[in-house]
Amino acid sequence: MSNAVTVLGLGQMGHALAGAFLRAGHPTTVWNRTAAKADDLVAQGATLAGTPADTAGLVVICVSDHHAVRGILAAMGPLEGRVVVNLTSVTPTHVREFAADVTRRGGAYLDGGILAVPDAVGTAESMLAFSGPRALYDEHEATLATLGAGMHLGEDPGLLATHELATLMLMWSMLNGFLNGAAILGASGVSAAEAVPFARMMIDSVAGWLPGYADQIDQGTYSADHGTIDTQLVSMANVVEESESLGVNTDLSKLVKALAERAVAAGHGGSGYTALVEQFRKS
């Protein structure tokens, strides 16, 4: 017999989570601020809750932001014996607030993040990460695995949210680089599709550098084996100059160049690219 679950929040992601639980045979209760978004799930066998307090089993919250999570937790009423898994993207500070609130009210709290798009939830392409009490994760691991492969990062409830912020920065930086590159290529009459093989090659190369670069960052040694910041600065200036002549936005290219110039001013012109981490460490 599959365990009962409740999904609070049926936006794009919450709806996908509830659908995956239903397909796997979990008795699934659903609630959404706009109740109509539950209609098709109810037609598939879900139970509609009238309020966030009408939950059954493991409670999964997936809404737009921390304000919505806070409101839902307040509306859940007594939490004695209830287990709340928050899959909403929030900051580590919010997570610690929610964990303390739920625990103080007699419940148990696990924080999680979904490393997948809604269509992939419940398939082999879906991964989730969690932080909070290990014993709580172990207890509910099998149920949560319905949504995708899971991993537990650590006892600190805020750990997942910290990783999530770092990973999102990486995703946006990669995408911004691709989009900025597409704008440069487009202004030169080259389609974005033609850039894809080069972009994939570069992403694969960078992915291969990461373990060694992470060691350099952790040890504070910035090897110039892959070239110096001085050398890269010449290429950065080329990007800014050509973007200006093409009439393409230079916000990102100027920021990239300015960070490198600051690293050079700090004495790292002859260092490898990882020395830029010192610029990111400053507030």
Put the strands of the sheet holding 83-86 in their side by side order. Answer: 47-48, 28-31, 5-8, 58-61, 83-86, 108-114, 127-131, 149-154
Q: DSSP of 206-220, one letter per residue?
A: HHHHHHHHHHHHHHT
> Residue 85 CB, nearest distance to ligand NAP (Å)?
13
Burial 185-204 (b: 16+ CB within 10 A, else e): beeeeeeeeebeeeeeeeee
Give the nearer residue to ligand NAP in terms of CB position, either 64 or 279: 64
> Residue 254 CB, nearest distance to ligand NAP (Å)?
29
How many other C-beta atoms are found inside a 10 Å radius of the C-beta of residue 117? 12
Give the nearer residue to ligand NAP in terms of CB position, either 98 or 273: 98
> Residue 60 CB, nearest distance to ligand NAP (Å)?
11
> Residue 67 CB, nearest distance to ligand NAP (Å)?
6
Give the nearer residue to ligand NAP in terms of CB position, either 75 or 258: 75
Give the nearer residue to ligand NAP in terms of CB position, either 17 or 83: 17
> Residue 258 CB, nearest distance to ligand NAP (Å)?
30
Give the nearer residue to ligand NAP in terms of CB position, either 47 or 228: 47
Give the nearer residue to ligand NAP in terms of CB position, either 9 or 158: 9
N-term to C-term CA, the chain? 52
Radius of gyration of the chain (CA): 23
Beta bridge partners of 30: 7, 48
Cα–Cα separations (whole angstroms), residue 147 to 40, 91, 108: 19, 22, 20
Residues in the chain: 283
> Residue 173 CB, nearest distance to ligand NAP (Å)?
17
> Residue 223 CB, nearest distance to ligand NAP (Å)?
35
Residues at the interface with ligand NAP (CB under 6 A): 9-14, 32-34, 37, 62-64, 67-68, 71-72, 88-89, 114, 117-118
Give the nearer residue to ligand NAP in terms of CB position, either 62 or 108: 62
- Of 248, 253, 257, nearest to 276 (Cα)? 257
- Of 50, 61, 141, 55, nearest to 94 (Cα)? 61
Token output for 134: 């290990």
Which residue, judged by CB position, is nearest to ligand NAP in the bound state?
A: 11
